[in-house]
Amino acid sequence: MNLSTLRVACSNCNLREVCMPLGLTLKEIERLEDLVASRRRIRRGEALYRAGDHFENLYAVRLGFLKSTVMSSDGREQVTNFYMAGEMIGVDGISSGVYSCDVVALEDTEVCVIPYERMEEITTSMRTMGIHFQKMLSREIVRQHGVMLLLGSMHAEERLAAFLLSLSQRFESRGYSRSEFVLRMTRAEIGSYLGLKLETVSRVLSRFSHDGLIEVNQKHVRIFDPEGLRAIVSAVNLDHSSPDARSSGVADHVIHDRRR
C-alpha cells in the first residue's frame, strides 16, 4: 500500500467517528493518519497474533470480526472477547511487552497497524489523542468489570439477553440495524465467552424464540422485543457505568441502553 493511500485512510474511513476523537482539526487528522503504518488482512481462521508474541503494534479493526482467547490450565480454549470494526486490539501487550492472548479472525478481516512507539509519541504531543487513548483503556477496565458481573451473578437467560443487547447496540453505533444482524461467532464460542455450555446456549436461544423475543435462523438473528430482553436483565445495576461509554463489554452496554 502506498503512502498516499494510507494518508487518506482515516479521513475517508466511515469508522472515523468510532475510533478517533471527535472535534479534530484537519491538521490533527493528518497527524493521526501518520499513526497507521500499514493495513493487514487476515483470513478467517488465521491469527492476528498469538499469546507470547512480542508486542510492537496496536490494531484498529477496519473490517471484519475477531475473537480473543486464552488457554486454561486444563488445556481448554476460553473466549475472552469479541472485536468488531472500529475497536482497538493489542492493549493486552502494553504492560509485559508480549501479547497475553490469541486473536483470531472469525471472518475475513482487515486491520490498521499502529506501531505503539508512534502511539506513545502522538498521545504525548496531542492532548486530545492522549485523553482519547486513556478513555479507551478505561473502557477496557469497565468492560472487564461487566464481564465479571456477567459471569458471577447472572443466570443463563440473563447472560444471553445481555449479550444480544450488547451486540445490538454495537451494531447500531456503527450505522447498522440494531434489530437484525448476523452472529459471526459459533454458539460454542458464545458459550465459552459467557461461561455456558453449548447446549445451554442453544436451549436459551430457542426459549427466547419461542417467547417471541427473537427469531434465530442459523446465525441470522432478529430482535422483536428488546424491552423483553432488557426486562430479563433488569436486576443488573451498574451505577458506576458511564452513560456515554462506547466499550465492548456486555453488562455496561445493557445499562447504557436502558437509560436511554
Contact 154, 123 (CB under 8 A): no
Going by C-alpha positions, the residue among 157, 42, 177, 159 that lies closest to residue 102 is 42
Q: What is the mean pLDDT of residues 19-36?
A: 73
Confidence of residue 242 (pLDDT cuts 50, 70, 90): very low
Q: How far apart are CA 110 and CA 89, in angstroms?
A: 12
Confidence of residue 245 (pLDDT cuts 50, 70, 90): very low
Residue 122 has pLDDT above 60, yes or no: yes
> Which residue would you say has higher pLDDT here, 6 or 130?
130
Give the count of beta carbons closer than 10 Å to the beta carbon of residue 14: 11
Quick one: fold of 137-258?
A: Arc Repressor Mutant, subunit A (1.10.10)
Work out the burial of residue 223: count CB atoms within 10 Å of its CB; fewer than 13 is exposed, 13-18 middle, 19 or more buried.
Answer: buried
Top CATH class of 3-125 equals: mainly beta
- CA-CA distances (angstroms) from residue 189 to 54, 151, 196, 201? 26, 15, 10, 10
- In the chain, DSSP assigns E strands to 38-42, 47-49, 57-63, 65-71, 77-84, 88-89, 102-105, 109-115, 180-182, 214-217, 220-223
pLDDT digits (tens, 9 = 90+) for 184-230: 999 999 999 999 999 999 999 999 999 999 999 999 999 999 999 99
Provide the pLDDT for residue 26.
73
Please report, for the chain, the start and end positions of each structural domain, with discontinuous segments joined by +: 3-125, 137-258
Q: How far apart are CA 249 and CA 166, in angstroms?
A: 7
> Which residue would you say has higher pLDDT here, 66 or 21?
66
| The C-alpha cell that represents 232 in the structure block | 430479563
pLDDT digits (tens, 9 = 90+) for 248-257: 455 444 444 4
> Which residue would you say has higher pLDDT here, 164 or 151?
164
Q: What is the mean pLDDT of residues 91-97?
A: 92
Q: What is the mean pLDDT of residues 61-72?
A: 94
Confidence of residue 238 (pLDDT cuts 50, 70, 90): very low
Confidence of residue 167 (pLDDT cuts 50, 70, 90): very high
Instruction: State the pTM of this model.
Output: 0.81
Confidence of residue 129 (pLDDT cuts 50, 70, 90): confident
Provide the pLDDT for residue 110.
95
> Which residue would you say has higher pLDDT here, 193 or 73?
193
